[in-house]
Homo-oligomer: A and B are copies of this chain.
């Protein structure tokens, strides 16, 4: 069986009594080889314990089939769900994507990008880290490597993006809060160096203004996009002279934190204070109280992003249409009691 030194196509050729070109051809599934010959070669491949050397092949072919997914925070289940959606389509395309985590660190992101380029990636899906410099992707662009942004984008970039309709989601959520009778509203968490932040805050503002509620600027407080950040933001806003009675949170993690902080203050979320999240992670449904949140179909966006890079690679282009995914407001219990167990408020959505 397997010999100690790595077997090459030359070993196979010797074993099967053919030339190495023939071996290469059967390796590539060419129809040019006579079936008996092909079978003999395949048997030899087994016998020598051959492992295809993709690096050598790529070197010769001058292109690889490796696709990278660069994720800003793998511990956030939201991004893990995104990754899973992408993997689904890559798997059926017979591709094994490599995931790399930047842990929200632009320096690490640069290392990751560099390594991926050296590895000669064919294409990339990236959810850029916070504070990514505008020119962080220039090398990739000049090299002509297809890149698509998922969920997050850079301020001025020609790289295509796949993301939910953040503005619309925030708008729907805010109107819901207002329809529940709230007049003093907060916007909690997130930071202004993220484009998403401005999109979501924009939807919040628009809804407030449409209802004649000038949003209280002091109740718009930035913070970490985590439970801890949510706790801090809620405390800040409750200390205001005229505290709000409800809040739209930048994402679900912030919302969970806000609810925790409410309890610590002896307030019951849903009854004494309304909170809405964003993203609708799996946990939202199981929380107590169940969290009303904006659902963005994370795995679906992941699939979409994967299809887009695949197409870009195939057509050797570096450009593609943006895709803005539809969103739903999923009404549960965190804004007070409801008639039914769960209600969905759909947005028309659509592509931009």
Contacts and interface: CB of A to CB of B under 8 A. Distances in A.
Nearest to A58: B55
Given A74-B74, A143-B6, A286-B260, A59 B51 contact: no
Contacts of A167: none
A85 to B, nearest CB: 11
Interface string A271-301: 0000000000001001010000000000000
A98 B101 contact: no
Interface string A50-64: 011111101100001
Nearest to A49: B142
A145 to B, nearest CB: 10
A118 interface: yes
A91 B118 contact: no
Nearest to A84: B75
A99 B96 contact: no
A111 interface: yes
A75 B80 contact: yes
- A94, A115, A256: which has the most chain B beta carbons within 10 Å? A115
Given A98-B99, A256-B286, A74 B66 contact: no
Interface string A197-239: 0000000000000000000000000000001000000000000
A119 interface: yes
B100 A51 contact: no
B49 A53 contact: no
A118 B84 contact: no
Contacts of A116: 96
B52 A118 contact: yes
A2 B51 contact: no
Interface string A1-15: 110101000000000
A124 interface: no
Interface in A63-111: 64, 66, 74-75, 77, 80-81, 83-84, 87, 91, 94, 96-101, 103, 108, 111
A311 interface: no
Contacts of A91: 108, 111
A113 to B, nearest CB: 9
Interface of A: 1-2, 4, 6, 49, 51-56, 58-59, 64, 66, 74-75, 77, 80-81, 83-84, 87, 91, 94, 96-101, 103, 108, 111-112, 115-120, 139, 142-144, 227, 256, 260, 263, 283, 286, 288
Given A6-B143, A98-B100, 10 more contacts: A49-B139, A51-B117, A55-B119, A56-B59, A77-B80, A87-B101, A91-B111, A96-B111, A99-B100, A263-B288
A-B pairs, top 9 by smallest CB distance, nearest first, are A98-B98, A96-B115, A55-B55, A54-B118, A99-B99, A2-B142, A75-B80, A52-B118, A74-B80
